[in-house]
Structure 1
Amino acid sequence: MRIRLDPWPIDTFEGQLTLKPFAGLVFDVETDAWRAIPTKGIPQALREVLVVDGKPRMEARLLLDDAAGELHLAAFGAYVVGAVSLCPHGTRQAELRGVRARRVLAYSADAPLEPARLSPRNPHTGVLEYEPHAFDGRQVEGPRAKVQRLMLDDEQALSQEFASAMPLEEGDADALPDTLVLQDGPVRLGRGGSAVVGYVKTLHTDYLGADRIGLLSELKCGERTPILRFRVGDRGGQVSEAEGREQRFTWYVRLCDAPFYQHPLAGIMRLEMHAPEDSAFVPRAVQGVADLSGALLQKLGSKLHKDARAPQNLIPTAALEHAMSRSMGNLDLVTRRIRTHLVQQGVVA
């Protein structure tokens, strides 16, 4: 028995690798030859790359009791989304774009709340305004899930705002986008037709199967697998109503060699893009993005001595996370403002 190390730090929510088999169908669309495909480098036509990410935060949990004595859940929360714009050819410095913080008062749908405006003692420190958003049910994770959902929606809107249009029809010319967006996590439901690539840092779902996954260990730096297609929500004969209509292209890229003490899939990242419904072909623009992805991600991958989640936690993402944390403010000070507000409103006995 050989023992290998999962490279991600133990204090993260889960490891980098679990590989639960995908229950649905996965189709070959680029080639029937299951082999490594080398990167073709970054073409001059690609002028801008933006890395989009978001960061949620829960700031205070609330319990509300109504006139009938029933308890309801609510919470003060915040999230921020933003992007880092960079030149893939290194001709200019990277810059922050669209960093936007929002504060949310998430509450159970049967306990309506008004917006909360938290005024400071010192007028120079600014007002905290929490916009109410309802969630269904009374689950303890309801407020957190609502903040997360709002953040993902804003991430998608920001990605769509920046990304070039993406021709996805079979007869479209080879039109590589001039602006490409890398979005942390899978691409969101809906809003296809834009040059948005979801990059998935963890390998929790196995889309390849035992007869194909071995290629991932053999990939050299910058190489990728052929492009595959699958349907989101496919459970092997049962497709969820909300997700089953969505198609995805996906492929794997190696960012760097795995150290000898880590599992052989360390350094691998999965990418995905929207696909036309039941397409048996790969649009030329999508193939062009896949061909440059290895060279691009090698440049953006972080180093282990600087980031414990290297190389999948991209260098621009780490810089963006610091900016997003600053935009939400110090959590201890915010929590103090919330306590003061509740006392002033006379809602604390």
Structure 2
Amino acid sequence: MTSTAHAARMRFHVDSWDPTYGSSVENAEITIGDSTAKVTPDIELAPADWKPISPSHLPDPGAVIFVDGVRRVEARIWIEQPPAAKQATGAINDARHASMALCASYAAGTVCCCPDRGAHLLTIESRRGLFTTATNAADVPTTAGTYQANITPDDQEENLPALLSAALQRRLADLEILVAANARTALAGHGVAENSDLLVVDGPLRGRTHLPRALGFIKSHRTAYLPPDLHAMIATLATSERSPVFLMGTSWDRHAWYLRLPCTPGAPWAGVVRLECAADIPTAEAIALANLSQLVLPRYASCEYKDTRAPQNLVPVAGLERELRRRLGNAVLLSRALRVAAAN
């Protein structure tokens, strides 16, 4: 055994995120080979001129609206189905085939931060759903609410739990779009100048790029999208500095940039988030949104002693998540209600 007196001391940093949520950097290696994205880095600066960009002096937006959603699977159930041959002939047989389904609750809402009212809940919606590939599925009424049937086409090449989870996520994304649109309507009575608000969606902006003045806020990093030399520059960002804007294309296109939020010094990518905005807006507008993100988002960074996902889990988003989970209802009672409904 090596003597501790002569062993070199190892320096290390502990990720501040609760391991329940994974890590702020999902792949510690972040090798460029993991990415198949098409990246156009010369949107704001030529690759040879890439450097950290300091914050600009800008007027504040009239309001900042944070959008988030939560989901929870209350039960996995099995829906009985007659064999196809028996269905075709109309014969009656007690034998049944069963198809797995998910019973889930999901909710989405918005928090508005504006000068007149501070941070306050603006819009909120919740739903319960039954997600399945069973074509004979129907709504499931319970004493705690009705789980609305959502039938998704079967795909033999995809894992069924993943298929149903994706269907649930699509419904949640649709609900987030609804609450975001309703939030901007609700701003009418807040004394906010028209078209002066900024919308921050917690998560990728995919499917929501049509929303004006909207940013996607990505907390964790699974892939290195940039070439190695530009990727290495991200680790040199100081607090509130950002990377130049670049264009990124995977299954969809968007403008993107990296920003470091205020945090305790540590791992190279500590406090780094990726921001996204629509690909079809003018370059100048995308750069203006990037500059605005530097002004606005560091103000809402969370603290380690208050949030185990600090600083990336923004304070208004953390509060919204708590309220949304409360609106989902008691999981034990919902599970019991489903068991009673099944017995009946």
Q: Structure 2-normalised TM-score?
A: 0.82
User: Does the C-alpha gap of structure 1 residues 155 and 132 become closer, same or farther in structure 2, counting only changes over 3 Å?
Assistant: same
Written as runs of structure 1 = structure 2, the 5 A alignment for 1:113-132 is 113-119=137-143, 127-132=144-149
Give 1:318 shift.
Answer: 0.8
Written as runs of structure 1 = structure 2, the 5 A alignment for 1:1-349 is 3-18=12-27, 19-21=30-32, 22-27=35-40, 28-32=42-46, 33-44=49-60, 46-68=61-83, 69-87=96-114, 90-108=115-133, 110-119=134-143, 127-137=144-154, 139-162=160-183, 177-189=195-207, 191-192=209-210, 194-233=212-251, 246-259=252-265, 262-276=266-280, 282-283=283-284, 285-344=285-344
Secondary structure of residue in 1 paired with 2:59? coil
Larger CA Rg, structure 1 vs 2: 2
User: Does the C-alpha gap of structure 1 residues 12 and 339 become closer, same or farther in structure 2, counting only changes over 3 Å?
Assistant: same
Give 1:214 shift.
Answer: 2.6
Q: Is the contact made by 2:124 and 2:179 (CA closer than 8 Å) also made in structure 1?
A: no
Q: Provide the rounded CA distance (Å) in 1 between the counterparts of 2:23 and 2:238.
A: 26
Deviates more, 1:250-259 or 1:265-274: 250-259
Give 1:42 shift.
Answer: 4.7
Count of residue pairs brought into register by the alignment: 305
Partner residue in 2 for 1:173: none
Q: Is the contact made by 1:8 and 1:16 (CA closer than 8 Å) also made in structure 2?
A: no
Q: Deviations over 1:48-80 (max 9, x none)?
A: 111100001101111122222322111211100
Q: Deviations over 1:72-111 (max 9, x none)?
A: 1112111000011002xx5532111221110001121x43
Letter in 1 for 2:317: T
User: Does the C-alpha gap of structure 1 residues 42 and 337 become closer, same or farther in structure 2, counting only changes over 3 Å?
Assistant: farther
Please list every run of 5 or more consecutive structure 2 residues that lacks an aligned counterpart in the other structure.
1-9, 84-95, 186-193
Q: Provide the rounded CA distance (Å) in 1 between the counterparts of 2:67 and 2:112.
A: 9
Partner residue in 2 for 1:238: none
Q: Provide the rounded CA distance (Å) in 2 between the counterparts of 1:160 and 1:205.
A: 31
Q: Provide the rounded CA distance (Å) in 2 between the counterparts of 1:162 and 1:275.
A: 23
User: Does the C-alpha gap of structure 1 residues 66 and 252 become closer, same or farther in structure 2, counting only changes over 3 Å?
Assistant: same
User: Does the C-alpha gap of structure 1 residues 29 and 160 become closer, same or farther in structure 2, counting only changes over 3 Å?
Assistant: farther
Q: Which structure dedicates a bigger proportion of its chain to helix?
A: 2
User: Does the C-alpha gap of structure 1 residues 217 and 177 become closer, same or farther in structure 2, counting only changes over 3 Å?
Assistant: farther
Q: Is the contact made by 1:221 and 1:294 (CA closer than 8 Å) also made in structure 2?
A: no
Q: Provide the rounded CA distance (Å) in 1 between the counterparts of 2:289 and 2:13.
A: 33
Give 1:2 shift.
Answer: 5.5
User: Does the C-alpha gap of structure 1 residues 114 and 64 become closer, same or farther in structure 2, counting only changes over 3 Å?
Assistant: closer
Give 1:145 shift.
Answer: 2.6
Letter in 2 for 1:282: T
Letter in 2 for 1:73: M
Q: Provide the rounded CA distance (Å) in 1 between the counterparts of 2:120 and 2:36.
A: 41
Identity over the aligned pairs, expressed in percent? 28
Q: Is the contact made by 2:177 and 2:208 (CA closer than 8 Å) also made in structure 1?
A: no
User: Does the C-alpha gap of structure 1 residues 81 and 232 become closer, same or farther in structure 2, counting only changes over 3 Å?
Assistant: same
Partner residue in 2 for 1:168: none
Give 1:250 shift.
Answer: 0.4
Q: Provide the rounded CA distance (Å) in 1 between the counterparts of 2:263 and 2:147.
A: 46
User: Does the C-alpha gap of structure 1 residues 61 and 193 become closer, same or farther in structure 2, counting only changes over 3 Å?
Assistant: closer
Give 1:340 shift.
Answer: 1.4
Q: Provide the rounded CA distance (Å) in 1 between the counterparts of 2:58 and 2:315.
A: 18
User: Does the C-alpha gap of structure 1 residues 117 and 42 become closer, same or farther in structure 2, counting only changes over 3 Å?
Assistant: farther
Give 1:226 shift.
Answer: 0.7
Give 1:270 shift.
Answer: 0.6
Q: Provide the rounded CA distance (Å) in 2 between the counterparts of 1:95 and 1:133.
A: 32
